[in-house]
């Protein structure tokens, strides 16, 4: 009976947050109407912006997979001078105001050889700067879970460090890396503050929603928001489903 009371209290408290997170989304779709949702997504500007958002966030994730995952492995497996400082610095982008991050990126890259302002490169950079810690930290925790004894055994059998990384560490940390990649991708999809400072055009979905809200009001921005949420959730569920089936 005591356990039942405990469960009921915690379930009640949790339900408050659950309703807070789900009711606004349900209200959005109800107010917009599913017919309007599917009509709006046929607008070329809308589906171009959604596809650009998904593509840019994906490029950011791929780049960090090739650069951040090896870094996460080094942090997880080795002790070196300045390690705690490095970990702290890697977490800073999460705490920085997004518009401030956009200004920092503009100052750094606007005068470079690569065109940065109002380009996909600038969009990807803004998304990556603010979301990379999600993937790096998740990969780091995944590598920590891998029993180092397996790596030592492989080493004694003559395997080199690259072989150990790709055949032992990476496969065993796969779930955490995929979860981190999904979190980073999701964070990139919703990025607005830094992106709008760097690239108002071409418009990613969050910028298009803001632009339509400013220009035409809630009636014209809400369907775009609903479309972006619907596409993001569908992609997220498909990736989750495939990942769970592979485990």
- Residue 3: the pLDDT is 74
State yes or no: pLDDT of 158 exceeds 90: no
Domains, the chain, with CATH or none? 44-246 (1.10.3720.10)
Cα–Cα distance, 184 to 135 (Å, whole number): 6
- Residue 235: the pLDDT is 85
Average pLDDT over residues 2-28: 88
Structure tokens at 183: 């979190």
Confidence bin at 2 (pLDDT 50/70/90): low
Asked if residue 202 lies in contact with residue 120, where contact means CB atoms within 8 angstroms, the answer is yes
pLDDT tens-digit readout, 83-130: 999 999 999 998 899 999 999 999 888 777 778 889 999 999 999 999
Asked if residue 206 lies in contact with residue 102, where contact means CB atoms within 8 angstroms, the answer is no
Cα–Cα distance, 69 to 139 (Å, whole number): 6
pLDDT tens-digit readout, 46-57: 999 999 999 999
- Residue 141: the pLDDT is 95
Average pLDDT over residues 69-73: 96
Confidence bin at 132 (pLDDT 50/70/90): very high
Asked if residue 131 lies in contact with residue 187, where contact means CB atoms within 8 angstroms, the answer is yes
Cα–Cα distance, 22 to 54 (Å, whole number): 23
Confidence bin at 26 (pLDDT 50/70/90): very high
Confidence bin at 246 (pLDDT 50/70/90): low
């Amino acid at each position: 009976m005591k356990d039942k009371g405990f469960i009921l209290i915690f379930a009640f408290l949790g339900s408050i947050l659950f309703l807070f997170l789900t009711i606004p989304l349900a209200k959005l779709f109800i107010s917009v109407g599913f017919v309007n949702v599917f009509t709006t997504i046929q607008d070329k500007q809308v589906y171009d912006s959604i596809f650009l958002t998904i593509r840019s966030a994906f490029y950011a994730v791929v780049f960090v997979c090739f650069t951040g995952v090896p870094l996460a492995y080094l942090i997880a497996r080795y002790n070196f001078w300045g390690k705690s400082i490095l970990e702290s610095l890697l977490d800073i982008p999460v705490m920085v105001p997004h518009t401030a991050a956009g200004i920092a990126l503009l100052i750094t890259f606007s005068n470079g050889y690569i065109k940065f302002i109002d380009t996909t490169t600038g969009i990807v950079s803004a998304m990556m700067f603010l979301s990379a810690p999600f993937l790096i930290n998740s990969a780091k925790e995944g590598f920590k879970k891998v029993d180092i004894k397996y790596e030592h055994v492989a080493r004694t059998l003559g395997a080199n460090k690259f072989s150990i990384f790709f055949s032992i560490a990476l496969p065993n940390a796969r779930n955490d890396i995929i979860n981190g990649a999904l979190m980073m991708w999701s964070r990139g999809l919703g990025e607005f503050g830094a992106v709008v400072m760097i690239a108002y055009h071409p418009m990613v979905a969050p910028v298009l929603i803001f632009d339509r809200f400013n220009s035409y009001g809630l009636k014209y921005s809400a369907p775009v928001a609903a479309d972006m949420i619907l596409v993001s959730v569908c992609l997220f569920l498909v990736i989750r489903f495939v990942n769970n089936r592979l485990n």
